[in-house]
Amino acid sequence: LVSAANRAVREGRADSVSGWVSGALAERAERERRLAAMADAVRAYEAEFGVISEAEIAAQELADRRGARRPARSALRRKSG
């Protein structure tokens, strides 16, 4: 990690090692905040509608994978327009 921080400074991607570490800590804190917000949202949803089943999770994962393979329609319109 120290080598990565030093490399980031050498390559101009960070002003200092401490700046690089500070940025990494800020990213980690933001990630944890988002994960906590997602967990809260799932708890609220399940409190209102019931526990999300394994079948529902599997169906959503499949839909997500299929969606990731197709370019967004708006992106296609931009390229052709």
Task: Encode pLDDT of 35-79 as tens digits.
Answer: 999 999 999 999 999 999 999 999 999 999 999 987 766 655 655
Residue 2's nearest CA partner among 15, 13, 18 is: 18
- DSSP string spanning the chain? -HHHHHHHHHTTS-S-HHHHHHHHHHHHHHHHHHHHHHHHHHHHHHHHH-PPPHHHHHHHHHHHHHHHHS--HHHHHHHH-
pLDDT of residue 70: 78
